[in-house]
Structure 1
Amino acid sequence: MSAVVTGVAVALPGTADPEGLLGPAPTGAAPVDPTAVIGRKGLRFNDRATRLGLHLAHGALTDAGLLHDGEPTVPGDRIATVVSSNLGNADTVCRAVQSIAKGSTMALRPMDTPNASSNITASETAIRYRLRGPNLTVCNGGSSGLDALRWAAVLLRSGRADHVLVTGVEPDNEVTRRLVGGPVADGGAAVVLSRAGTAPARARLGAVVRTATPAATAAALRARHPGDSLWLDAGTDAVPPGERRITLADRGELSGALGVVQCAAAVGWFARGGGPTTVHALAGRAGVSLLAPGSGR
């Protein structure tokens, strides 16, 4: 069973479409405003990562034809949800810890309690869009986004779902900046992976690899899909010398969003046309190859 990308959404400062990821990050761009797309209703007590995740989910599900007027167009129990975020609710957790340290559990804000769950973005997405398939969050360091794509493919291959919404999102705030030592992306991307043949494909999922080192992962991807390729990475030295590459390091710390943003960038590359029909994404020790929908590779 092959998996294909059938929907995509991007929400980063100054970039709202996949092709925009292929160039340098705009400077001085305004933060993403989720309320401009999904309105204010139901967002009052959500944290920044969840608001951004709901924004991305709406865009990707709509693009895949799975959402219309806020309702799923196919049975919701056949749509799974996988979120990748390493820093998502760190601000809520830190605020709760500080409140307890200064006073007691009585000092906690009641609306902070559900937001302290590491699965809050995935669960809120499922509730809002009535997605009743498997629901999980991946929090696995730099490779988290590509690992989320791998788990999405597992859900499709095992028959647990026909479509999987994969969202990678990281918020920018004082806590996350302190954790990573600099600006965070404050956004991310979402893609819908579907069983081949269920909807028009924007890209095909090829090799999914994890090895002991980034260089070994790159070599494994190259062996599985030889020939002219584009490499997407975050500024590592694992890309083979002389190969065409696009680095996303200027977007701020993408962390758990990186792999999903790379997948969205591959869709943008194929939509633009005229280049290699294979894109290799590298994040940590994980790697994924994405193939143009009409290619025979």
Structure 2
Amino acid sequence: MRPDLCLRNAGRRYGLRGPWVLRGVDLAVAPGRLVRVEGANGSGKSTLLRLLAGIDAPSEGRVTGRPRTAYVPERFPPALPFTAAGYLTHLGTVHGLPRAAAARAAGEWLERLGAAAYAETPMARLSKGSSQKVAVAQALLAEPELLVLDEAWTGLDTEARAELERAVAERTAAGGSVVFVDHDPSRLAGLPDATYAVRGTGLVESASPEPGPSGPQVTADVQGPPDGRLPDDVRRMVTTADETAPGSYRLTVPAPHSDILLRTLLTARPPWHVVSVSPQATASGRQG
């Protein structure tokens, strides 16, 4: 397993005598972790994400444990001399994919994000929302070890926002790390492993959430072989896993992760049998 990505006493300022945007920042991002970053507008959140993504180098301090990283910026430059599919295929080859694999991944992500109809449209002619879908797709097509999202949901339609949440769940379930900023406080509510706030020029960890499920949950009853052991990537994404009989489990999973959970079980070798799936009542008695 790859080592943690670590910022050690990291600081960033623009210009030799410019004010410090960040200073004395220590942060470790372990594999499989989902991390939220909060802060007021202009507080330095984007600067922190650019340090994590390797877009900017720290003015002081150091970064260690650099994983294979992809980044969705707050503003994506749409006026590029490519079609949407051509741009994604080119980026895929830059990430090391063979051209045929890059073209295939480009098509799959455009389809998943609802932008397949614009595959051959020049980037300069895409709407803001369609351009943002390409920005998300370029970050996901090579299955990064670290995914950095800076307001990546902004401009996406409802279906694409849900698909990006599923992609986040897939990355963390596969052992990748995701660090994100979003203006909507309900985005991925209850799911982050850690939340940090940029205050002044520093970074502080917010209080840990109360134990137990938070947000809409789904319950799944599943059966494997009698001596079956739940796959590790399933254990990483579920809230609870109660063994009801040898090889049988009742799993509780955050709703955004439910389809990834089922896909993982059904494609396991040997595959697991999904007996039932149902939404779980929230603490207030409403169905998730």
TM-score, structure 1 normalization: 0.29
For the pair shown, which has the larger CA radius of gyration, 1 or 2? 2
* Larger fraction in strand: 2
* Larger fraction in helix: 1
TM-score, structure 2 normalization: 0.30
Higher RCO (CA < 8 A, seq sep 6+): 1
